[in-house]
Amino acid sequence: MSLVIVGTVAFDTIETPFGKADMVVGGAALYGSIAASRYTDDVQLVSVIGEDFPQSELDYMASRGINQDGLQLKKGEKSFYWSGRYHDNMNKRDTLITDLNVLETFDPVLPESYKTAEYVMLGNLQPDVQMRVIEQMNKRPKLIIMDTMNFWMDIAMDSLKKTIAKIDVLTINDEEARQLSGEYSLVKAAAKILDMGPTYLVIKKGEHGALLFDKNNVFSAPALPLAEVFDPTGAGDTFAGAFAGYLAQTDDISFENMKRAIIHGSAMASFCVEKFSNERLKSLTTEELNARLETFVSLTSFDLVAAEVA
C-alpha cells in the first residue's frame, strides 16, 4: 500500500559524549521514509529543502524507491537546521540552534498521485501544517498516524487538538502524554487521549520501550537494552517510519498487527542509534534486521507452565 510521509528533511549538528557530527542529514521525514522503505516500495515523501541539501542523499532515497514528487526545493534558500548536545547519560539533550530556514514558510503541496494513499504518516510539524496535509487527501486514508511534541502543546494546544481529532494513531512520549492529558498515570492519560479522537495511542518511553493502547487493550513493548547509545537522534522518527511502513505493507490495522508494527519500529530504531545520522540505516542488511527481530522475541518471551498458587 502507498504511504505518504510528511515531515522535515534537514541538517543536524550533534554533539554526544562520543563525538560530534557536523551538518549531517536528518529530519523526521528523512529517517521515517528510509525506515519505511524497508517495508513498502511506495513511500511518498512530502517535505521541503533548500539548495544546500546534498544530491547524493536524494539519490540514496530515490534508490530506495522513495518518491520525491512532493519534496519542494527552494532555490537560493537553506534547509532546516537543528543543532543539539546530548548530556552524558544520553537521555537528555539541549537544543543549541534551530534555524527554520525553508521550514518557516513551508506549505505542503501533495502531488495528485499522493492524494489517494491509504496510509499517511504525519511527522512532527506545526499541527496546522499537518492538518493541511489531511485536507488535501482525495479520500479519507485507511490510517493516519501522527507524531508531535511538547513544543506544540506549549504554544498551539488548540490547533494540536483539532488535528489529533482527525487522526487514527498518535505517537508521543510519556511526558508528552502526561502534558496532553493532564494525567500522571499513563493508563488514565491514554483514556483521555483516546477520547480526543485517535483509535490507537503509542507512548514511546525511550530506553523503557513503548506502550500501545486502544480503548480495550494495552501492549507493552520492550526496548532492546543497549550497551552503548552512540546518537539517539532520529530514533523516534525511525520507529514511526518502520511502524507505518510495516502497517502499509501488511495492510492490517488490527491491534494484533499494531503490536508487530511496534516491534519492527523498535528493532529498526535500535540500529539508528548505533551511528550518527542515517549511516547505520544505510548499511543495515535484511539479515541484521531479521536477527534483531528474533532478539526482541527472546527478550520478551516466557511461558507460565507449572505455576501453582494458593
Task: Give me the residues that bind a copy of itself (CB under 8 A), please.
Answer: 37-39, 41, 88-90, 184-188, 190, 205, 207-209, 211, 217-223, 225-229, 246, 249-250, 256, 259-260, 263-264, 286, 289-290, 293, 297-300, 302-310
Say how far apart CA 129 and CA 102 lie, in whole Å: 14
DSSP letter for 103, please: G
Residues contacting residue 11 through CB under 8 Å, at least 6 positions apart:
23, 24, 25, 26, 52, 53, 79, 80, 81, 82
Provide φ and ψ at 102, rounded to 5°: -60, -20
Residues 173 and 148 sit within 8 Å (Cβ to Cβ): no
What's the min distance (Å) between Cβ of 35 and a copy of itself?
Answer: 10
Distance from the first to the final alpha carbon of the chain: 51
Say how far apart CA 310 and CA 298 lie, in whole Å: 30
Residues contacting residue 105 through CB under 8 Å, at least 6 positions apart:
none
Place of cell 536528518: 26
DSSP letter for 230, please: S
Nearest to 291 by CA among 239, 234, 224: 224
Say how far apart CA 233 and CA 31 lie, in whole Å: 10
Say how far apart CA 310 and CA 303 lie, in whole Å: 19
| 47 three-class SS | strand
